[in-house]
Amino acid sequence: MIVVLKHNPNPEQLQSLITWLQEKGIIIHTSIGEGNMLLGLVGDTSKIDADLISALDIVEDVKRVQEPYKNANRKFHPEDTVVKVGNTQIGGGNLTLMAGPCSVESEEQVVAIAKAVKASGATMLRGGAFKPRTSPYSFQGLGEVGLRYLEIAKEETGLPIVTELMDLSQLPLFKNVDVIQIGARNMQNFDLLKAVGRQEKPVMIKRGMSATYEEWLMSAEYVMAGGNENVILCERGVRTFETYTRNTLDLAAIPVLRKLTHLPIIVDPSHATGKSWLVDPLAMGAVATGCDGLLIEVHNDPAHALCDGPQSLKPEQFDALAKKLLRLKEFVKTIEE
């Protein structure tokens, strides 16, 4: 339920409304929409009499929210959420470029790639230490040592780190990680979502391979219900009948999510296509469609990468693409003004 207040509501009447709702076990989120203050009510609102609230002097309107996601819902929070990470911001008109190797393979590898992508305009270093691999015989990531190498690359470049958390037990190791990635395979690991909701680091939730927008937003809701509002969504393609590409990139997700939620939207054309030559056109398409940033896999030697070489760009390819993406973002802003 959303309570839209009149302009300059009487502070005492507002406080007594808030206290009355809180006594009924309702959690209240305040935000601003079209100049009016909004109260977003979360909890069991079925016993709240909307007519009673509508009749109050300070209330302009009362709306029931049909969607099961509340905190993540744009109706609750009309303004875009901007997630601050170190010196950079995700959302709010920026183009975030998260880049790096699928897997951290060595200190030299990740430091060299971090330096290269930073010079090309990347704002975050993305690399995997704990890897969700389809086969138990594939390289599983360097684990804790990989996290240490990411930290060294962060110390050397200043780039914030985004890396995947696969299991609750790994959380204490993530002290120096800046954004926790929840992978597609864990999008509905509800215990993991609850755990990252109870801590403060921003969380990027990748879309499950067959997840609907609503299921994906409910995963965000899990994190937000725990008190962590710094959630980022990442479209990484969904499973369809097409086998030519690794997945099918759903660019419609960008405008649809923009309508349904206030959370920032990142697009991952690397996992969506599985082919390095498709990363460029789809990244451009994602920027033209209005995403807040991209996640792009970059490897200094894709042919010998331990994971996802075929979809990885070489640093020089990333450099050329990053320049185009940043120019396109500026161009899109000018034609939308």
Reported in sequence order, the residue ranges of the chain that DSSP labels E, i.e. its strands, are 2-5, 27-33, 36-42, 59-63, 83-85, 88-90, 96-100, 124-126, 161-164, 179-182, 203-206, 231-235, 265-267, 293-297
Residue with Cβ nearer Mn ion (53 or 102): 102
The three-state DSSP-derived secondary structure of 63-87 is ECCCCCCCCCECCCCCCCCCEEECC
Which of 26, 83, 102, 162 touches ligand PEP (CB under 6 A)? 102
The 224-263 site mask, x for binding ligand PEP (CB under 6 A), equals: ------------x---------------------------
Residue in the block written with tokens 């990142």: 266
Which of 184, 205, 253, 286 touches ligand PEP (CB under 6 A)? 184
The residue of the chain with the least Cβ separation from Mn ion equals: 102
From the CB of 283, what's the least distance to ligand PEP, in Å?
Answer: 15
Residue in the block written with tokens 């500026």: 330
* Count of positions (residues) in the chain: 337
The 174-213 site mask, x for binding Mn ion (CB under 5 A), equals: ----------------------------------------
Is residue 269 involved in binding ligand PEP (CB under 6 A)?
Answer: no
Determine the size of the site formed for ligand PEP (CB under 6 A). Answer: 9
- Taking CB under 6 A as the criterion, which residues in 188-227 touch ligand PEP? 206
As a whole number of Å, the CA-based R_g of the chain is 21
- Which of ligand PEP, Mn ion, none does residue 9 bind to, with CB < 5 to 8 Å depending on kind? none
Residue in the block written with tokens 């990635």: 181
Residue with Cβ nearer ligand PEP (21 or 267): 267
- Return the range that interacts with ligand PEP (CB under 6 A); candidates 93-101, 108-116, 183-191, 211-219: 183-191
**Cα distances (Å, whole numbers) of residue 307 to 234, 296, 332:** 20, 14, 34
Burial status of residue 143 (CB atoms within 10 A of its CB: 0-12, 13-18, 19 or more):
middle
Is residue 268 involved in binding Mn ion (CB under 5 A)?
Answer: no
Is residue 102 involved in binding Mn ion (CB under 5 A)?
Answer: yes
- Return the range that interacts with ligand PEP (CB under 6 A); candidates 150-158, 179-187, 211-219, 250-258: 179-187
CA 88 to chain centre: 14
**Which residues make up the interface to Mn ion (CB under 5 A)?**
102, 308
